[in-house]
A and B are shown apart, each in its own frame.
Chain A
Amino acid sequence: MLEQAQINAITIYCEKRGVKYYDVQLELVDHIADIIEDLQKTNPVLSFSEALELAGEQFSIDEFKYIVRSKKDHIEKNISRLIENEFLTFFTIPKIIVTITLFFVAYFVPIWMHTNKALCVIVLVLTVVPFFFYVINKYYLIDDLKDKRNSAFKLLSYKAKSRYEIIVMVCMYSINIFFNVIRVFFDWHIKSDMISQLILFFLVILGILSAAMYEVRFQFNRKMKAQYPKAFTS
């Protein structure tokens, strides 16, 4: 069985050949370690560095690149599927009921109060809700999050997730900004109730989607920790 220093040497060998991420390296490191162990079994006088060179010769540079590319594609597709699934499971029946209730509250309160002050309060609440979800995830469910990611282990999965998250957040907040611009324009110049209600509808949806994104991030962290425990330190 190879020692930790030897496994580290294989990891560095992989990094030099363009395999930079831990979730991609993991399988290749094990594969090369297996080849080295077999080589040393058949030829016990073979040193580790000689065996590593021989094992490395079995892989061409293109092969490393091809494996990394295929793994990258696989991770990206997997992350999208995982995020979509988590996103869908977030919308359970109680949450849908809360969403519909929130929508009706947002719809009727301004009508009852005959004022746009209610609109401002609701917008404020909807802005704060995702923040609360974040706080709850971060501080109250601390058992699951107290293990921080070890910066020595770069994960391609996180890179793929961040890219996905940025796209979703940019889309969501672009819509939010767009509707706020409309709100300001119509509220100040036209005072259209219909537009206000339409904006409220989208703001409710955006608030809930933002909360869902925090939940997705939390579940994603949990899954990554279960899959790559070594990449997290306690």
Chain B
Amino acid sequence: MNKSTLYKGCLEPIIMRLLKDNGRMYGYQITQMVKEITKGELQITEGALYPLLHRLEEQGVVDTEMENIGNRVRKYYTLTKAGKKQTSVAMDELKMFMQSLNLIVNPKLA
């Protein structure tokens, strides 16, 4: 199975967690930070990142602001109040999922 397929369902909580820890971030910064933290193991494609960010914006999980950076405009994302609450829930769910996954991978732990 493709590695990116394995990570796909976890992208949302990962991005929310990064935004919670770093305040405001822009698209490219998110991809680079994920790559750096996972030592290149997880690389978010632009085709996965932006549709997800747009969906989170639509759901009111993130807020956006534009800023002029030199000759171009940069779009920053920040978690909304509701988004911060949802991040905690998403992280708990992710932990539970990891525990369940661990039990499947290591049945002796059960």
Contact = CB atoms under 8 A, between A and B. Distances in A.
Most buried by B among A3, A34, A63, A71: A34
A2 interface: yes
Contact of A29 (B32, B46, B72): B72
Given A27-B50, A30-B75, A1 B70 contact: yes
Interface stretch (B10-18, B53-61, B78-86): B53-61
Interface in B2-61: 26-28, 32, 45-47, 50-51, 54-55, 57-58
A227 interface: yes
A74 B47 contact: no
A31 B31 CA distance: 10
A35 interface: yes
B51 A1 contact: no
Q: How many interface residues does chain B have, given as a range?
A: 20 to 34
Contacts of A184: none
B36 to A, nearest CB: 12
Interface string A58-87: 111011001100110110011000000000
A152 to B, nearest CB: 15
Contacts of A27: 27, 50, 75
Contacts of B46: 28, 31, 58-59, 63, 67
Contact of A67 (B26, B51, B57): B51
A100 interface: no
Contacts of B54: 70-71, 73-74
Interface in A10-63: 26-31, 33-35, 38, 58-60, 62-63
Nearest to B27: A31
A77 B47 contact: no
The 7 closest A-B pairs by CB, nearest first: A70-B51, A63-B47, A34-B28, A74-B54, A1-B70, A4-B71, A7-B71
9 contacts: A2-B72, A30-B69, A30-B72, A63-B45, A67-B50, A70-B51, A71-B50, A73-B54, A74-B55
Interface of A: 1-4, 6-7, 26-31, 33-35, 38, 58-60, 62-63, 66-67, 70-71, 73-74, 77-78, 227-228, 230
